[in-house]
Amino acid sequence: MSMAPELEASHPIASTADQGRDATGAQPEAVDAHAATVVVWDVPSAVEVGGRFRMKVGVKCASECRLADARFGVVDHTGARIAGGTLPAEVWPGTAGLYAREIELQAPAAAGLHEWRVTAPESEGAGAHPAGSVSFGVRVVSRPEHVVTVEAIDGDTGAPLAGARVVLHPYHAVTDERGIATVRVAKGAYRLFVSQTAYATFGLSVEVADDTTARAELSLEPVPERN
């Protein structure tokens, strides 16, 4: 492998280009006025094992060529091509030359953070655009099988706090009139946050290996002086 002098490619969006090249890697990696930049967004923060999710895929040529009907492909962490599609006829609203669409994918059966990749255009048909690609993380979580019961009370009076927001990211719930919320979560380590108007947010590290109970004692925020 010879190290070519580094040429600074001017990609309009920072994420990508040129990494997905393998079979056609013989081409010189020069600055290409038609470099394709691939972007993804709206990837969910977590997906249940085997669950379906939606995200956006977009492709843009550095010279803003029309990329309608160009094909893109999605490759999973094992290298298998698991999905593909064609770009729409019109640019994404409010953009210059970004062709994008929403796609639906299925999470694998194994929990963990998986690196997937979108490559486009897939064929040389799209005005001889060399393919660009972007990788992104798909966080797959086990099905929520344990119940965490959270009791939110006023730390001074012991009174139950109804309507408090309970978060064990990515799960959340709201306490009932008894100050109790139950959240179904997957086994794992979490940071529990409980918040309620006028109170300082309560935080606690929780290790969930079975059904668990946590007590959140909230303190009132200092009240600012009124005029």
Please give the residue ranges that form the binding site for Zn ion (CB under 5 A): 34, 61, 63, 65
Residue 85's contacts (CB-CB under 8 Å, 6 or more residues apart) are 57, 71, 72, 101, 103
**d(Cα 188, Cα 141) in Å, to the nearest integer?**
10
128 versus 223: smaller Cβ distance to Zn ion: 128
Residue 68 CB, shortest distance to Zn ion, in Å, is: 12
Residue 129 CB, shortest distance to Zn ion, in Å, is: 5
Is 108:49 a contact under the CB 8 Å cutoff?
yes
59 versus 164: smaller Cβ distance to Zn ion: 59
10 versus 78: smaller Cβ distance to Zn ion: 10
Residue labelled with tokens 């290298």: 79
Q: Using CB atoms, what's the residue nearest to Zn ion? A: 65
Residue 89 CB, shortest distance to Zn ion, in Å, is: 17
Sort 31 into a burial class: Cβ within 10 Å, 0-12 / 13-18 / 19+.
exposed
132 versus 179: smaller Cβ distance to Zn ion: 132
Residue 29 CB, shortest distance to Zn ion, in Å, is: 17
Is 132:17 a contact under the CB 8 Å cutoff?
yes
Structure token digits, residue 46? 């977590």
Residue 38 CB, shortest distance to Zn ion, in Å, is: 13
127 versus 163: smaller Cβ distance to Zn ion: 127
* CA dihedral of residues 146, 151, 155, 159 (deg, nearest 10): 180
